[in-house]
């Protein structure tokens, strides 16, 4: 995609259309609608994102995605993904996440990195970030984490999306069919999350880092460079989301989006603080450099951000000139 050009992608129908050029901006999604719409406008260094809350016309959330580390950028694609987003106006934040993945077979051949990661996006006074345990397939797992051909590498990481900096824990290898339990727990005293991954009782990776509270849980498939073509189907099971406060209507007030994925219903047995999802299914799909085109919009479910390795996401909430009260968030609000 060239600077000044744009594609419009409607997830509901899975098609791409052109839109007229305008100052570089990206309309990422409309989270309170039933249809997620993405408009992408790319410059060499900056992408702007605007998110409108359709049911709250006086409120607009602006997201700014800023490209960092220009010297080390690479092409990145998103494959299957889903997200559960707490309503930042009425819902409490996500206090704890637990999920388990049976690792699928690694691709037989590839370059660069294919990553399966259940992410928790955070926001707070000092900016935004992503808590993410990566389950990664490398072209050379021996060099990456001491594994053998066909193994995956597991690593806990926190990405500060306000600055582009990151912290990473140790990395260990696991083979196909191994269960990986991933757990994120909010630490009230530190104001950050502890993430731990375990397989068959052995700790794979552990880290406490970051700041802010979680508001979006999103299992994701990501591939960098010429990573892969077909990504195997995989399922997260026994996913548990614990909120900071009870919300008996979280299963209807939360915004849930899918791309080449689905899940079973969310249920609660304690009045809405603890929510269970039996299965989150990430379907087999394509993730890699042969992205959809206007001529062939259904070639694959991937979305490509050309030239972008990591994005910075900075939400600023506007509500006229008055501040908006977000539960347990101390984000400054500007008009």
Domain 70-308 falls in which CATH fold? Jelly Rolls (2.60.120)
For 84, 133, 276, 309, the CA distances from 250, given in Å and listed in that order, are 10, 25, 11, 33
Question: What is the rounded distance in angstroms from the CA atom of residue 307 to the CA atom of residue 75?
Answer: 5
Tokens of 331: 């984000």
The residues, any chain, with a CB within 8 Å of residue 201's CB and separated by 6 or more, are none
DSSP 88-144: TTTSPPEEEEEEEEEPPPPPSS-SSEEEEEEEEEEEETTEEEEEEEEEEEES-HHHH
Domain segments of the chain: what residues? 70-308
Length of the chain: 335
Q: Which residues contact 81 (CB under 8 A, 6 or more apart)?
A: 218, 219, 220, 221, 258, 259, 260, 261, 282
Please report, for residues 78, 112, 284, the alpha-carbon distance to residue 132 in angstroms, rounded to integers and kept in the order given: 15, 19, 21
How much is the pTM? 0.67
Per-residue pLDDT tens, the chain, 335 aa: give them.
333 333 333 434 444 444 333 333 333 333 323 223 333 322 222 232 333 333 332 222 222 222 222 223 346 677 888 999 987 666 678 999 999 999 999 887 667 788 999 999 998 766 788 999 999 998 888 999 999 988 999 999 998 887 778 888 989 999 989 999 999 999 988 888 999 999 999 999 999 988 889 999 999 998 876 666 678 899 999 999 999 999 999 999 899 998 889 999 999 999 999 999 999 999 988 776 554 444 444 444 444 333 223 332 322 222 222 222 222 222 222 22
In contact, 43 and 223? CB cutoff 8 Å: no
What pLDDT score does 88 carry? 67
Pairwise CA distance, residues 200 & 298, whole Å: 39
CB 309 within 8 A of CB 224: yes
Q: Any idea which residue has 């026994």 for tokens? A: 238
The whole-angstrom separation of Cα 256 and Cα 86 is 9
Q: Please state, in angstroms and as integers, the Cα–Cα distance from residue 309 to each residue in 3, 21, 189, 224, 312, following that order.
A: 17, 24, 32, 8, 10
Using CA atoms, how far apart are residues 81 and 258, in angstroms rounded to an integer? 6
Residue-level pLDDT at 161 = 81
Q: What is the SS3 assignment for 53?
A: coil
């Amino acid at each position: 995609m060239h600077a000044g050009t744009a594609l419009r992608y409607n997830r509901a129908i899975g098609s791409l259309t052109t839109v007229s050029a305008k100052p570089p901006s990206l309309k990422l999604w409309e989270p309170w609608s039933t249809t997620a719409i993405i408009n992408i406008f790319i410059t060499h260094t900056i992408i702007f994102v605007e998110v409108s809350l359709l049911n709250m016309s006086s409120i607009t959330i602006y997201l700014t995605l800023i490209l960092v580390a220009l010297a080390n950028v690479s092409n990145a694609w998103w494959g299957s993904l889903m997200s559960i987003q707490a309503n930042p106006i009425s819902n409490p934040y996500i206090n704890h996440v637990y999920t388990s993945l049976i690792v699928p077979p690694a691709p037989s051949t590839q370059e660069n990195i294919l990553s399966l990661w259940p992410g928790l996006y955070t926001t707070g006074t000092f900016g935004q970030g992503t808590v993410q345990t990566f389950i990664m397939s490398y072209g050379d797992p021996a060099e990456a984490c001491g594994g053998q051909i066909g193994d995956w590498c597991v690593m806990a990481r926190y990405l500060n999306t306000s600055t582009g900096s990151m912290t990473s824990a140790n990395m260990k290898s696991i083979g196909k069919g191994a269960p990986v339990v991933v757990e994120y727990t909010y630490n009230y005293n530190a104001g950050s999350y502890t993430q731990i991954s375990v397989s068959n009782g052995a700790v794979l990776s552990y880290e406490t880092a970051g700041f802010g509270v979680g508001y979006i849980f999103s299992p994701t498939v990501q591939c960098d460079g010429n990573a892969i073509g077909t990504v195997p189907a995989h399922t997260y099971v026994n996913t548990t989301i614990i909120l900071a406060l009870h919300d008996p209507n979280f299963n209807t007030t939360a915004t849930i989006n899918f791309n080449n994925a689905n899940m079973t219903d969310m249920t609660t047995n304690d009045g809405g603080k603890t929510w269970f999802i039996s299965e989150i299914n990430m379907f087999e799909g394509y993730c890699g450099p042969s992205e959809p085109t206007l001529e062939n919009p259904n070639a694959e479910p991937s979305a490509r951000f050309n030239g972008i390795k990591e994005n910075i996401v900075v939400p600023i909430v506007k509500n006229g000139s008055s501040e908006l009260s977000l539960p347990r968030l101390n984000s400054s609000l500007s008009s």
